[in-house]
Amino acid sequence: MDLWSNFWSVIWWFLWAFVFIAYLFALFAIIGDLFRDQKLNGWWKAVWIIFLIFVPFLTALIYLIARGNGMAQRSAKEAAAAQSAADQYIRQVAGASPSEEIAKAKALLDSGAISQAEYDQIKAKALS
């Protein structure tokens, strides 16, 4: 009997740990959303934070119900902006396409800035 009692107390402890960690995730998401929202006045942000400190579970639930849709929209907008910035960075770092590199090398060859051997080397590298 004592083994099952300890087993269920461990399960109960894990359940409460899960609930607490889930609450922390929600709390940090709410605080992040509060500071990300540019339409909300600074005083209202302070009021939400004060209520999150003194009545945490109820305030988090009310915030998610009342402002959850806007929270999702702001999060999606930020994710799209981050994806766009990452794509732009990748395009910038990736450089030119092989055909553009060969065209630039051909222009350098025609102007006499590089030799035929250098042109062939650049062409081979671009095509590989």
Phi, psi of 53 (to 5 degrees): -75, -45
Task: Choose among 63, 68, 65: nearest CA to 49.
Answer: 63
Domain co-membership, 44 together with 84 = yes
Residue carrying structure tokens 């083994």 = 3
pLDDT level of residue 126 (50, 70, 90 thresholds): confident
Domain count, the chain: 2
**pLDDT tens, position by position, 10-59:** 888 899 999 999 999 999 999 999 998 888 899 999 999 999 999 999 99
Two tokens, residue 78? 């930020």
Domain co-membership, 17 together with 79 = yes
* 105 neighbors 119 (Cβ within 8 angstroms): yes
pLDDT level of residue 3 (50, 70, 90 thresholds): low
Q: pTM of the full predicted structure?
A: 0.61
Beta-carbon contacts of 127 under 8 Å, excluding residues fewer than 6 positions away, are 98, 102
For residue 8, the enclosing domain spans 2-95
**pLDDT tens, position by position, 57-75:** 999 999 999 998 888 898 8
